[in-house]
Structure 1
Amino acid sequence: MLLGTLYALLAGLIWGLVFIGPLLLPEYPAALQSVGRYLAFGLIALPLAWLDRGALRQLTRADWIEALKLSAIGNLLYYLCLASAIQRAGGPLPTMIIGTLPVVIAISANLRDSKRDGRLPWRRLAPSLLLIALGIACVNQVELEALRADTDADLGRYAVGALLALGGVACWTWYPLRNADWLRAHPGRNPRTWATAQGVAILPLAMLGYIALWLYMSASGASFAMPFGPRPAFFIGLMATIGLFASWVGTLCWNQASQRLPTALAGQLIVFETLAALSYTFILRGQMPKPLTLVGVGLLIAGVIWALRVKPVHAPVVSVGDAA
């Protein structure tokens, strides 16, 4: 449990970096940032795949199809939604919408996986979910007040950003549940191999997406300087950094956590990503969070600590004789 929690914490600290990428490249289309990130991830995965080629050969065709699905929805589509949301609504609002993931995943997993992982009693789980939800509401309230005070704010643009963030929630509710299914069904497989497989699987898709975007922008007469935009060195460096750490190392850490923790509990630990993303966003803004924001962060942390105390309850095994 402790080791799984530490892996989830490290994954959250790393994944928080992806929330500031769109803020550092505001003039770059979100689609380009998405395919660029996963093109970098796929290229980084190639030498790693060569080193791990023996284990990768053991993966079946069905395994590779699953890796492609996970990468396409949990990586490419998720980051497209997230980057688009951040560019339209700023950092904190999409971060807090994505921050509902611990609640959404915990409820989904408890409904779906109780037979496999044991049931986390709703009565004991409810306080942690309530604390997390209240924390998210506090931080969100601060951002909404700032939005109302800004006379130049485009409410329609913010609303679209919020909807796109909800799309990201849907993608990343599906991803950890399916990813945990595969990992728990293959306990003998190395999580590192599975992280590398997802990188290799996404490479052709990201490459096709990059080429398609380039052709579309050329045909539409867009003034954006393809293939690497107005700041090529910074764009390539940022995509490579996010591709290595947020995609491969982060996925590896999350896979390690997923093999050690019940899915409902692991889902709540995604709150570490929210806390890291908020911290990075305020550092980038160069300002201290408001008191209500700090209260919200405290509630999030309290919710996680409470959740760690909840142990799954397994249903009693009924033998054939007892059943008779």
Structure 2
Amino acid sequence: MLIGVLFALAAGLMWGLVFVAPVMLPGYAPALLTVGRYLAFGLIALPLALLLDRRALRELQAADWWEAARLSAIGNFAYYLCLSAAIQRAGAPLPTMIIGTLPVVIAVCANHRNRVRDGHLPWLKLLPSLGLIATGLALVNRDELALLRATAGDPRRYAEGAALAVAAVACWTWYPIKNADWLRAHCGADGAAKSPRAWATAQGLVTLPMAVIGAAGLGLLDLAAPGTLIPTGFTRPLGDTPGAYVGLMAAVGLFASWLGTLCWNEASQRLPTSLSGQLIVFETLAALAYAFAWNHRTPPLATVLGVGLLLAGVVWALRIKPVRTH
């Protein structure tokens, strides 16, 4: 369990980079960042497949490749498209608060669905952990909540943004549960042919054609309707700082996508999904830390208290022993 928690922590530290990338590249549209990240992920996966995982990838059947494609399409592209569209419709505060419920939603769904395979975490023992995490998320997002209450916008756009954010939560609730299903069914603890690393590489390989199609579609849309997704004053094709864009996308593709997926696969193989779902709070904490560091800001007291409650909730959950059910 300790090794699994450490892998989840490593995944969260790397996934946090995704949330600070738009801050580091403020002139780049979300669609460009999304396509750039997954194009880099796919290109990085190609040499890794040849050098490290050629034999393991040959062992994958057509059904395995189809599952990798489903996971990438829903857990990567659909999730980020829904999230980006939600932010465009409703602004950042509302989608941020809805996405922040992921650790609780995944834990609740997995604890019921996987009770036979992983064991059942008794609800009375789990509720304090979920309560601490929910309260911590509310404190961490206190400024977002205040802005949300103060902002008066078009109710229809707010409703559309909320629906898209809920769809994003659904995508990333489905992804870790189904990904854990495949890993438990196919990956042996002894590093069998179908390894967590090969599975991360496989997801990168199937992401590449999706990213190419996405980039081509984005280019065609920009030609047909300039300014729709890419700002009119944007310097085509790579912006005013192409070196920074390419370098950051390569870093995010390697660390947040491939290594992050690898670490999450290792954690998912070792931990009950109801517990690993709660450990997504590491991503929230990492994103917060990176954002405050980049902006040279000190976190307010409410944020510090929220982080303390998040960590307390995770520690509480780690102390719960699953009860086997039949």
Spell out, residue by residue over 1:35-78, the C-alpha distance to the aligned partner (whole angstroms, 9 max, x if none): 11101100000000112111101000010011011111111222
* Cα distance in 2 for residues equivalent to 1:96 and 1:32: 24
**Deviation of 1:111 (Å):** 1.4
Paired positions, count: 312
Kindly report which structure 2 residues correspond to 1:244-259, keeping only aligned pairs within 5 A, or say none. Answer: 244-259=254-269
Partner residue, 2:43:
43
Q: Is 2:134 the counterpart of 1:133?
A: yes
Q: Is 2:284 the counterpart of 1:284?
A: no
Partner residue, 2:214:
209
Partner amino acid for 1:76? F
Partner amino acid for 1:46? L
TM-score, with structure 2 as normaliser: 0.89
Kindly report which structure 2 residues correspond to 1:67-106, keeping only aligned pairs within 5 A, or say none. Answer: 67-83=68-84, 89-90=91-92, 94-106=95-107
Specify whether residues 293 and 57 from structure 1 end up closer, same or farther in structure 2 by C-alpha distance, changes over 3 A only: same
Kindly report which structure 2 residues correspond to 1:2-17, keeping only aligned pairs within 5 A, or say none. Answer: 2-17=2-17
2:316 to 287, 302, 306: 306
Q: Point out where structure 1 has 5 or more consecutive residues left out of the alignment.
A: 317-324
Spell out, residue by residue over 1:216-246, the C-alpha distance to the aligned partner (whole angstroms, 9 max, x if none): 1012134343332232211111111100000
Spell out, residue by residue over 1:116-147, the C-alpha distance to the aligned partner (whole angstroms, 9 max, x if none): 11111101101000100111122223322256
Check the 8 A contact 1:74/1:171 in 2, yes or no: yes
Kindly report which structure 2 residues correspond to 1:60-71, keeping only aligned pairs within 5 A, or say none. Answer: 60-71=61-72
* Cα distance in 2 for residues equivalent to 1:20 and 1:167: 22
Kindly report which structure 2 residues correspond to 1:237-248, keeping only aligned pairs within 5 A, or say none. Answer: 237-248=247-258
Partner residue, 1:322:
none
Check the 8 A contact 2:37/2:252 in 1, yes or no: yes
Check the 8 A contact 2:107/2:278 in 1, yes or no: yes
Check the 8 A contact 1:95/1:274 in 2, yes or no: no
Q: CA RMSD in A?
A: 2.1
Q: Point out where structure 2 has 5 or more consecutive residues left out of the alignment.
A: 189-193
Identity %: 64
Question: 265-274 vs 162-171, which deviates more?
Answer: 162-171
TM-score, with structure 1 as normaliser: 0.89
Check the 8 A contact 2:187/2:196 in 1, yes or no: no
Check the 8 A contact 2:97/2:144 in 1, yes or no: no
Question: 73-82 vs 170-179, which deviates more?
Answer: 73-82
* Cα distance in 2 for residues equivalent to 1:81 and 1:283: 28
* Cα distance in 2 for residues equivalent to 1:37 and 1:233: 14
Partner amino acid for 2:195? N
Check the 8 A contact 1:19/1:86 in 2, yes or no: no
Check the 8 A contact 1:142/1:293 in 2, yes or no: no
* Cα distance in 1 for residues equivalent to 2:102 and 2:240: 35
Specify whether residues 56 and 11 from structure 1 end up closer, same or farther in structure 2 by C-alpha distance, changes over 3 A only: same
Partner residue, 1:220:
225
Check the 8 A contact 1:97/1:169 in 2, yes or no: yes
Check the 8 A contact 1:142/1:292 in 2, yes or no: no
Check the 8 A contact 2:8/2:279 in 1, yes or no: yes
